[in-house]
Amino acid sequence: MINLDSIIGVFTGRKVLFTGVDIGTSSIKVCKLRERKGLYNVVNYGKTEYEESYIVGTEIIDFVSLSARMKESVQTVAPGTKDIAVQVPLSLCFYTVVSASPTENPDEIALEHIRGIISEDDLDKVVVKYRTMPVSILEDHVDIAIAAVKRDILEEYTALAENAGLKIQVIDIEPCAINNQFYLNYPDKVIDCVCLVDIGATFTKIVISYGGYPYLTRNIEMGSSTITEQLQKEYLISYGEAEKLKFGHDLESISYEKALDEVISKIIRKISTEIIWAIDNFKDRFRRDVEEVYLFGGGAKQKNLVSLLKSFTNKKVQLGEPLYFSGIEGAQEYAVSCGLSLRFKGDEHVKV
């Protein structure tokens, strides 16, 4: 049975870790970790790309094929594994942090906020969790994290795993998986406000964290596939040719520099605008600025992305390294699966 009380992750304690399975719109990423005496190592990791579209936007359109690929992916990385942790994409969940006076009742504050966004008729269709956080970004306040996911989405993911012969032990929400792997790799950043940006195929996820916890999230319907598709339309080229251009290779008829100037930089500027909006919104709400941006996801590997984002945002931008704790670099697409693989048996006392 899924431990819905553990919908948000943590990575402390003595653990038997579950295998993390990141179900994306263009691929499945799987990560298996081992923990001993507080130290983590990667046992194995791998990616299975889809030959066809199994997920369009947020909707699974080929349940059987996706389940089969899920089974194949897990058994390739972690043979014999049954128990897994999966994520609900940010596009399919709700997450926020509200601040309150220490004299106010946190339960009442959370319930009042939830009733303001979910009608009474729909409450029974949604799994809602909230928890007072052990840190507070504002003096003389308490911060309350609230997460909500529709029950039918949880049921669909459960059925997907069961059809693959797997058992979901933990369902995390995507921003917390991204957050957890970050603090495993960058524990010294716990005192700073940081912006974590995961650029996937279809969506770009923005998470602003402080004190080890996610505080603000934003989902953008724009990802690395947006660039590929626009390059195809602009230059009437194939998918493969557009992918080559995107990652910095010249074609016979089109140079990368031309594509960068006419197409790629314009889309990156739009993503930059969303990042700045999130940072400004965070500053308005919590009166704290964000100076550092860390990039994750397969789309983070695009040529010139870091330099473009630096120039567009005027922030310190760098590639994040999800598996750096185990000496592995260049694995930006494993941010979510790594965060998921930090979940463990008996993981009930969650951070948020």
**pLDDT tens across 73-113, in order?**
999 999 999 999 999 999 999 999 998 888 888 888 888 88
Q: Tell me the two tokens of residue 227.
A: 């660039």
Q: What is the radius of gyration, based on Cα positions, of the chain?
A: 20
pTM beyond 0.85: yes
Q: How far apart are CA 316 and CA 342, in angstroms?
A: 28
- Looking at every residue in the chain, the average pLDDT score rounds to 90
Give yes or no for residue 178 having a pLDDT over 70: yes
Percent of the chain's residues with pLDDT above 70 = 94
Tokens of 349: 């006392």
- Three-state secondary structure call for residue 92: helix
pLDDT above 90: residue 182: yes
Higher pLDDT, 264 or 37: 264
Q: Which helix (H) or strand (E) holds 276?
A: helix 265-286
What is the crossing angle of helices 305-313 and 265-286, to 10°?
50
Residue 347: what pLDDT?
65
Q: Which residues contact 113 (CB under 8 A, 6 or more apart)?
A: 96, 98, 144, 146
Alpha carbon separation from 218 to 93, 96, 147, 276 (Å, rounded): 11, 10, 14, 11
Apex CA 198: angle with CA 195 and CA 204, to 5°? 105
Tens digits of per-residue pLDDT, 105-150?
888 888 888 888 888 888 889 898 888 888 888 888 899 999 999 9
How many whole angstroms separate alpha carbon 124 and alpha carbon 48? 36
DSSP letter (8 states) at residue 17? B
Q: What is the pLDDT of residues 206-233, one digit of tens each?
A: 999 999 999 999 999 999 999 999 999 9
* pLDDT score recorded for residue 6: 39
Name the residue with tokens 């605008």: 273
